[in-house]
Amino acid sequence: MDEIIHLGDHWDAQSMVPHKNRVLEINHETSRLFRRAYDYLSMAEKANGVIESAVRDTGALDFRGLDDQATAVAADALGTETREGYGAARHLFASAISPAGLKNHLETLTWGLGRKYLVVGKPGTGRTTLVKKVADMIRSRGFHVEYYHCCLDPERIDHAIVPELRTGIFNASEPHAIMPDAGDVLVNTGQFVDANRFERLSGEIQEAEDLYSRALGNGLVFMSLAKRTHDELEKYYSPYMDFAAIDARRERTLDRILELGLAGRPEQ
C-alpha cells in the first residue's frame, strides 16, 4: 500500500511567489552543474575501461589462471559446506561518489566477519572479475550472497559477502583500500598478468590513468558546486515552512505505520 506524503502542504506558497524567478534560476544552474559532473564521471568510467581493454585485448591477462584462483578461493571459503539449490542474491552499494568526495561504509561490512579475502592489484588485472566469479561459485552451492556494485560502473561487482559463512571477498585496492587483519587472505591479481606485455602497455595505461584521475576530480568538483548551489534554495524555503505542522505530520505517520504493523501481526 502506497501513501504519498507531500511536504508542500506545509509551506506558505503565496509568500514564496516573489522569489519564483530566483528559485527557477537556482534549479536551472543546479541541473547544469550536475550534468557537467555526470559528463566527467562518464569520462572517468570510459578511461577505466580503456585500461582494462588494453590489458585484456593484448592477451596480457591469464584468464585461466584467474579462473583457477577463483575456484581455489571459493573452495577455501566453503570448506565442506554445501546447500541444495541456488542461493538468493541481494544487490547493493557500499560506496558512493558524493559532493563530499568518495565515500564508503566498508567498515560496517567487514565488522564481524570471520574471514576476509582481500583482492589487490593494478587496474585491469581482473580484480572485480575474480570477486564476481567467487561469489557466483558460492551462490551456486546454495548460499545467499550479497553483491556490492561499483558506484562508477554499476555493472562491476567490487565486493561480495556470504552472511551464513561470515565470509567476504573484497576489491581492496584504492579507492576502497582495506587494511588486512590477522587471518585475512590476500590475493594479488598481478600474478596473472604477463609482466613483459604489461610493461609494453605502460605508457598507454599511464595516460588512461591520468585521464581517469582528472575526470574523476573534475566530476567531484562540479558535484560539490551543484550541491552548494542547491543548498541556496533553503533560504527561500525555510522561512515559509510550518515546521510544527511537519512534526505533527511525522508523528501521525509514525502512528499510522505502527497501526498497520500491529494489524498485520498474527494473533498469539
Query: What tens digit of pLDDT does each residue of 123-175 get?
Result: 888 999 999 999 999 999 999 999 999 999 999 999 999 999 999 999 998 88
Instruction: Kindly report, residue by residue over 197-217, the tens digit of the pLDDT.
Output: 877 878 888 899 999 999 999
| Residue 191: Cβ within 10 Å count | 13
Work out the pLDDT band at 17, boundaries 50, 70, 90: confident
Task: Assign 29 a pLDDT band (cuts: 50, 70, 90).
Answer: very high
The whole-number pLDDT of residue 116 equals 94
Q: Report phi then psi at 90, rounded to 5.
A: -125, 135
Whether residue 268 has pLDDT greater than 70 = no
Higher pLDDT, 16 or 152: 152
Question: What does the pLDDT read at residue 1?
Answer: 66
Q: What is the mean pLDDT of residues 260-264?
A: 77
Average pLDDT value for the chain: 90
Three-state SS at 154 = coil
**pLDDT greater than 90 at residue 80:** no
CA distance 189 to 187: 6
Query: Are the CB atoms for 94 and 151 separated by under 8 Å?
Result: no
Place of cell 565488522: 111
Ordered by start, the domain boundaries in the chain are 20-49+202-263, 61-193
| Mean pLDDT, residues 81-99 taken together | 91
**Sign (positive/negative) of CA torsion 97, 100, 102, 108?**
negative
User: Do residues 116 and 170 lie in contact, with contact meaning Cβ atoms separated by under 8 Å?
Assistant: yes
pLDDT at 56: 79
* pLDDT at residue number 264: 64
Q: Cell numbers at residue 205, please?
A: 595505461
